Amino acid sequence: MKKILALHTGGTISMHEDASGKVVPDVENPITKAQFALPDDVELTSEDIFNLPSPHVTPEHMLLLKNRIEKAVREEDFFGVVITHGTDTLEETAFFLDTTVMDLCPIVLTGAMRSSNELGSDGLYNYLSAIRVASCDDSFGKGVVVVMNDEVHSARFVTKTHTTNVATFRTPTHGPIGLITKHKVMYFNKLLEHSKAKIEKVDSKIPIIKAYAGMDSTTFEVLSHMNIDGLVVEALGSGNLPPYTLEGLQKVIDKDIPIVVVSRCFNGVAEPVYAYEGGGVNLEKMGLIFANGINSQKARLKLLIALNAGMSGIEIDEFIAE
């Protein structure tokens, strides 16, 4: 038998719709009460580790999950772990675990777009799919994955793309790494290896700001007076900023904190390409670090992990750019 640990954290998958049509949290998790047939070779243990809508989830909760998973694999002989989670920040928890959990075991996150008693509720179906993926031998060495709507996505690039559609989780640029069919779990991509970092705390303050046409220095000026440990900038296109931002940006650079550039485009990779004023080539010369194809919310977590792992200088640059 394969021992699978299900860690429930809350989200729509654990909620129901009330008589007025509002979706509200349940005291008792409907997913743990549900009756359904498990795969023959699975022995399931369920724990409600916390019960929160995912906008309430913080890096401290992610750290709690990391520690619980490492204990489950090292001391309790679990084969794989399933985490049920609200979809709003699910990609962030998945990315955090993918970058910090050292043990190699299938770790699968899932959620639902429709709560437990809504017509066409997808929670139980996604939960069973996630259990199938977590108990599949081929899921070893795939990193942390997100399973929703019959698809398997790598935690590194997956993102929530739709406010309500059950097919909300997509992997722009690369696509899913696997499919769940009626009879099997099929993978058609290998994991791109990437570094992990050991952390025991998640203390840093790292805001994200987004660039737009006509943006000036105001936001950077304000940030230069704040007590922050790093900054992520969602720049334009391949990684450019309006020239009117540069005076303020320089004041943030003078604080000697790491500043990471990603693109506000949801496809592709930000790179220093343009050498005009505010272009990526100049931003790199000013000391900004280009993240490799991840979105701003993930770049923020990556920088937070780097700082809390005690990295500095070139170590941060290499970890972020990888």
Q: What is the contact surface with ligand ASP in residues (CB under 6 A)?
A: 11-12, 53-54, 86-88, 111-113
Buried b (16+ CB within 10 A) or exposed e, 123-134: bbbbbbbbbbbb
- Residue whose pair of structure tokens reads 């309500």 in the numeric block: 164
Of 71 and 162, nearer to ligand ASP (C-beta) is: 162
What is the C-alpha separation between 35 and 5, in angstroms, rounded?
17
Give min distance, CB of 129 to ligand ASP, in A.
16
Give min distance, CB of 300 to ligand ASP, in A.
18
Of 114 and 300, nearer to ligand ASP (C-beta) is: 114
Query: Side chain identity at 9, as an amino acid letter?
Result: T
What is the C-alpha separation between 281 and 312, in angstroms, rounded?
22
Q: Are 110 and 56 in contact (CB under 8 A)?
A: no
Please choose, from the candidates 138, 163, 132, the residue with its C-alpha nearest in 3D space to the C-alpha of residue 150. 132
Q: Are 3 and 78 in contact (CB under 8 A)?
A: yes
What is the C-alpha separation between 2 and 173, in angstroms, rounded?
34
Give min distance, CB of 53 to ligand ASP, in A.
4
Give min distance, CB of 178 to ligand ASP, in A.
22
Q: Are 291 and 321 in contact (CB under 8 A)?
A: yes
Q: Which residue is nearest to ligand ASP (CB)?
A: 86
Query: Catalytic one among 9, 12, 100, 245?
Result: 12
Of 91 and 240, nearer to ligand ASP (C-beta) is: 91
Query: Side chain identity at 247, as an amino acid letter?
Result: E
Of 91 and 263, nearer to ligand ASP (C-beta) is: 91
- Tell me whether strands 80-84 and 144-148 are parallel, antiparallel or unpaired: unpaired
Of 142 and 170, nearer to ligand ASP (C-beta) is: 170
CA distances from 57 to 25, 64, 67, 72, 174 (A): 14, 11, 16, 21, 27
Give CA 90 to chain center in angstroms: 6
Of 54 and 99, nearer to ligand ASP (C-beta) is: 54
**161 noted as active-site residue:** no
What is the C-alpha separation between 90 and 113, in angstroms, rounded?
12
What is the C-alpha separation between 16 and 34, in angstroms, rounded?
13
Q: Are 277 and 241 in contact (CB under 8 A)?
A: no
Number of DSSP helices (H) and strands (E) in the chain, helices first: 9, 16
Of 67 and 165, nearer to ligand ASP (C-beta) is: 165
Give min distance, CB of 113 to ligand ASP, in A.
5
Question: Which neighbouring-strand residues pair with 16?
Answer: 24
Residues serving a catalytic function are 12
